[in-house]
Amino acid sequence: MTGDSEDPNDDVQYHVELAEGDVADAVLLPGNPERIEKITQFWDDSEETAHHREYRTVTGEYDGTPISVTSTGIGSPSAAIAVEELARVGAKTFIRVGSCGAIQADMAVGDLVITTGGVRQEGTSDAYVREDYPAVADYEVVSALVAAAERLGYDYHTGITMSADSFYAGQGRPGFEGFEAAGSDELVDNLKDANVRNIEMEASAIMTLANIYGLRAGAVCSVFANRETGEFLTEGENRAAETASLAVKLLARMDEVKAEAGVKRWHPGLSLE
């Protein structure tokens, strides 16, 4: 089997070209395949297990914990394909690791945003469930990402993320020759007034699918631009990569502690020590 069939029940998945045993339980999901090296530089070891189209997968260990990363390309349609096929080969936890635009003035370029929930402005998740179904990050993933950022000493924010299907008109930017979509001049201000923290293109679909399938998901993004202050700089990728990798280790430890205590969910009465 070489991944040349699109039957979802095949051993090797059609798009990601992966089979059971190729990935760890937890998979990081950057968009850009070139971001993978920025993630795996923090790992103990890593080995590429597949590379097909935008989907490049590397599996290894971070501080003794099994971990994988799969690039998803740009946007929710391709990210949803990755979640679908990775889940079929055994992945249970997904953390988007990306970049974003902040829309609150108190957020600096290079800061991290840990998503707690999403505005489903992308259309992919609409193909799965009614539009008023919430895109919510798993609280264990949020807790692990916050703990990781705290341990590493990185500045971070938590809150609601808007995921869009369009980088230009759908995010309130002018299109070709200055084209403006209806309502685009008010989009960012309306989101800002509702205390939405940032805009990106994949998180809400990933979280929605994970919730539908009973999996864990969340997102951590580095702020590349602040739409309120006009600041722009491609900075913070390494912080997001290291934070997500450490979060996977903390999640694994949380799972061990839950098993030892005989409980199903993490709660403040448990300790990682």
Q: Which of 17, 54, 85, 202 does the annotation list as catalytic? A: 85
| Backbone angles phi and psi of 42, in degrees to 5 | -90, -5
Please state, in angstroms and rounded to a whole number, the distance separating the CA atoms of residues 108 and 45.
Answer: 32
Across 91-105, 115-129, 202-216, 227-241, least confident range: 227-241
* Residue 252 predicted with pLDDT over 70: yes
The alpha carbon torsion through 238, 240, 246, 248 (nearest 10 deg) reads -130
Q: Could you tell me if 192 and 103 are in contact, meaning their C-beta atoms sit under 8 angstroms apart?
A: yes
Q: Could you tell me if 180 and 132 are in contact, meaning their C-beta atoms sit under 8 angstroms apart?
A: no
Which bin fits 23, alpha (ψ -120 to 50), beta or left (φ > 0)?
A: beta
* Residue 233 predicted with pLDDT over 90: no
Residue count (the chain): 273
* Residue 119 predicted with pLDDT over 60: yes
Q: Could you tell me if 209 and 125 are in contact, meaning their C-beta atoms sit under 8 angstroms apart?
A: yes
Q: What is the pLDDT of residue 35?
A: 95
DSSP 111-169: -EEEEEEEEEESSTGGGTS-TTS-EE--HHHHHHHHHHHHHHT--EEEEEEEEES-SSG
| Comparison of pLDDT for 3 and 153, the residue scoring more | 153
Q: Which of 15, 51, 88, 253 does the annotation list as catalytic? A: 15
Cα–Cα distances in angstroms (integers) from residue 233 to residues 91, 157, 225, 226, in the given order: 33, 18, 6, 9
Domains and CATH numbers, the chain: 26-258 (3.40.50.1580)
Distance of CA 72 to the CA centre of its chain: 10
Please state, in angstroms and rounded to a whole number, the distance separating the CA atoms of residues 67 and 59.
Answer: 6
* Residue 3 predicted with pLDDT over 70: no
* Residue 63 predicted with pLDDT over 70: yes
Express the helix, strand and coil content of the chain in percent, nearest 5 each: 35, 25, 40
Q: Which of 51, 88, 173, 253 does the annotation list as catalytic? A: 173
Q: What is the pLDDT of residue 131?
A: 95
Q: Which residues of 113-124 are buried (b: 16+ CB within 10 A; e: fewer)?
A: bbbbbbbbbbeb
Q: What is the pLDDT of residue 69?
A: 98
Q: Could you tell me if 121 and 113 are in contact, meaning their C-beta atoms sit under 8 angstroms apart?
A: no
Q: What is the mean pLDDT of residues 99-106?
A: 95
- Is 96 annotated as catalytic? no
Which bin fits 90, alpha (ψ -120 to 50), beta or left (φ > 0)?
A: left
Name, in order, each residue with C-beta under 8 angstroms of 2's C-beta and a sequence gap of 6 or more.
12, 17
Q: Which of 56, 197, 216, 227 does the annotation list as catalytic? A: 227
- Is 239 annotated as catalytic? no
- The average confidence (pLDDT) of the chain is 94
Q: What is the pLDDT of residues 195-217, one digit of tens each?
A: 999 999 999 999 999 999 999 99
Of the chain, the percentage scoring pLDDT greater than 70 comes to: 97
DSSP annotation of 11 reads S
The alpha carbon torsion through 16, 22, 28, 33 (nearest 10 deg) reads -50
Band (8; pLDDT cuts 50, 70, 90):
low
* Residue 183 predicted with pLDDT over 90: no
Of the chain, the percentage scoring pLDDT greater than 90 comes to: 87
